[in-house]
Structure 1
Amino acid sequence: MITVPISALEVAMVQTHTRAMDTLRDTTTFAQRLEELGYLRLWYAEHHHSPAIGAFPPVVLTAHAAALTSSIRLGSGGVLAPNHAPIMLAEQFGTLAALHGGRIDLGIGRGPGTFDELTARALRRGAGPTTDEEYRDDVSATLRFLVDEVALGPLPEPWLLISSTAGAALAAELGLPIAFAHHIRPENTLPALDYYRERFSPSRWCERPRVLLCVETICAETHEEAARLAGPMNVVKARLLMGRSDIPFPTPEEAAGHAFAAEDVSALAAFQSQQAHGSPETVEKRLSDLVAMTSADELMLATPVYALADRLRSYELVKQHMMAPRTA
């Protein structure tokens, strides 16, 4: 049994042979089912210009899901600060928090959300990549606007999404809880968490270091079935290793026929060994080991599989085999 709270990340994969509106319909079903299962929170990620991932704004998905649920926490994981004016982020998420009983989270990240340079520049109105100082100013301004100009009632809970010691340094300085992207940069996890905890300064947002660890998790009745379900994302990752995101999210059958380069097979195996794929017993051990290794306060599961039914089944198995009963 895993004793820390467990949450979920919605990446909104657009399955090949389907429409984006089908993915949007699935996000609604997914949110409602996760609430029934007792997951703590559900976050939406910001992506742009990818045939495999829907370009659905996290604030819109959060608002839609919040209107159709009553208890699960909802928010961004993350909304990318360089793509948005700080005051707009504060107004949007501050309004959502006031409308929905203080169950809104504002997870802030830095990346462009796309591999396409023209798209990145369009999002930033022609500007190039943000500097460390500009990013710090954006995050600080967003927090300031939340308090000084938007306080309509309960504030959204701010988090900083990080994948390096640079992000850890900013979160520690500002006294923010962190969501670490172990599902993207597992090699940076321990150094970044150590750096964050050693330098953390308490703030109005967080009195002590607080760590949410996001882990790619694919749970099925058997290891073989989990491996089959992981196939489509492996194809997408192999393309991402080349710096490209120009293919749709394939079916498991299409992925089974994909010819991977030898270096891709090695890189994917190394990555997967640090995530949580397999039967319930295997997944429970891996997640428990990660909690013990990182002293994480919460887990967030990212489950990029093709069909909604298979994705929900993974979360149902985690619920049945691993989740401790939630207390009020």
Structure 2
Amino acid sequence: MIDLPLSALEVSIVEEGATPADALRNCQSVAGELARLGYHRLWFAEHHHSPAIGAFPPVLLAADTAATTAAIRVGSGGVLAPNHAPLTVAEQFATLAALHPGRVDLGIGRGPGTFHEPTARALRRGAEPATDGDYRADVEAILGFLGEVHFGELPEPWLLASSDAGAELAASLGLPVAFAHHIRPDNTPRALERYRAAFRPSRWSAAPRVLVCVEAVCADTEEQAAALARPMDVIKAGLLGGRSETAFPTPATAAGHEFGERDGAAVAAFVAQQARGTKESIAPQLTRIAEATGADELMLVTPVFDPAARVRSFELIAELRAEAG
């Protein structure tokens, strides 16, 4: 059984045949259901110029969810520091935390949030991609400005990481780390080992804290889970193969997709490190990931086509947590 806190990452899928406005409404409805199901946190990802994911600012989605729910923590997973002025990030999240004390997280990440180079340059106002030094300076500036604003209770900062470098930066700054196992699972064990070994206590965290984000698809049958996960497998095959994003396919479209030998092997290797299946079969998979990583908390990302199916997946996994007491 799952005895760790469970949280969720929302990526605001724009389904084939739908509009970004539809994705936004789906995001709102799923958020309400996650709050009802007792999930600990709900974070929103930052993406831009994607045919599959809505370009909705995490701070706005977090604000809407905080205003329409009572207890679930809300935040960014993450706000991408190179795209924003550090003072603006600090002011936005400090304001949100003052309006909703004890409920706001500021997850900070590095990537541009897009594969579209003109969009990436526009976000950076024409500047080149951030270096390691630029990124560290941005994160330090955000934390510094958080310490200077006086709006009330501050948000809880987290650093998103998918590599050794990100984990080591979190450790050196004394931040809790949210590791993107759903993006680079091969990096997870070594990066978290380095994080724990190098951690320096800070005002933000007295000891290492690890949240691990896992791609999880749960359904009432194994066949349903496989069918629900297949559209994301199609997207994932393209990303793993270095190709640009496509629209998020329907289950029917995805069912007719034929994977080449290389794509099929890459997707299978990735899936083997995530979690999917029925409630009974997914429990040991999530337990294995939690034990292997020493996670203090699991965050689930469930990129499936139908929001009702997405909620059902979260519901089934929440039942595992409830059964564990």
Normalised by the shorter chain, which TM-score bucket?
over 0.9
Paired residues of 2:241 and 2:263 also in contact (CA < 8 A): no
- Could you list the runs of 4 or more consecutive aligned residues of structure 1 that deviate by over 2 angstroms after TM superposition? 241-246, 321-326
- Pairwise CA distance, 1:219: 0.5
1:49 to 2:39 alignment: no
Partner in structure 2 of residue 190 of structure 1: 189
For 2:273, give the aligned amino acid. Answer: Q
CA RMSD of aligned residues (A): 1.1
Secondary structure of the residue aligned to 2:39 is coil
Pairs within 5 Å for 1:156-175: 156-175=155-174
1:271 to 2:278 alignment: no
Unmatched 5+ stretches in structure 1:
none
- Pairwise CA distance, 1:281: 1.4
Q: Percent identity between the aligned chains?
A: 61
For 1:283, give the aligned amino acid. Answer: I
TM-score, reference length from structure 2: 0.98
Pairs within 5 Å for 1:11-30: 11-30=11-30
How many Å separate the matches in 2 of 1:59 and 1:38? 21
How many Å separate the matches in 1 of 2:249 and 2:288? 31
For 2:120, give the aligned amino acid. Answer: A
Task: Give deviations 1:158-179, integer Å, cap 9, x for gaps.
Answer: 0000011101111111000000
Partner in structure 2 of residue 118 of structure 1: 118
How many Å separate the matches in 1 of 2:27 and 2:270? 27
How many Å separate the matches in 1 of 2:322 and 2:132? 38
Partner in structure 2 of residue 31 of structure 1: 31
Partner in structure 2 of residue 76 of structure 1: 76
For 2:78, give the aligned amino acid. Answer: G
For 2:85, give the aligned amino acid. Answer: A
For 2:276, give the aligned amino acid. Answer: H
TM-score, reference length from structure 1: 0.97
Paired residues of 1:115 and 1:243 also in contact (CA < 8 A): no
How many Å separate the matches in 1 of 2:117 and 2:242? 11
- Pairwise CA distance, 1:240: 1.4
- Pairwise CA distance, 1:325: 7.2
Paired residues of 2:171 and 2:195 also in contact (CA < 8 A): yes
Partner in structure 1 of residue 206 of structure 2: 207
- Pairwise CA distance, 1:241: 2.4
Paired residues of 1:186 and 1:274 also in contact (CA < 8 A): yes
- Pairwise CA distance, 1:242: 3.4
Moved more, 257-266 or 182-191: 257-266
Partner in structure 1 of residue 217 of structure 2: 218
Partner in structure 2 of residue 291 of structure 1: 290
How many Å separate the matches in 1 of 2:57 and 2:318? 28
Partner in structure 2 of residue 67 of structure 1: 67
Unmatched 5+ stretches in structure 2:
none
- Pairwise CA distance, 1:65: 1.0
Partner in structure 2 of residue 129 of structure 1: 129
Secondary structure of the residue aligned to 2:312 is helix
Aligned length: 325
- Pairwise CA distance, 1:324: 5.6
Paired residues of 1:14 and 1:23 also in contact (CA < 8 A): yes
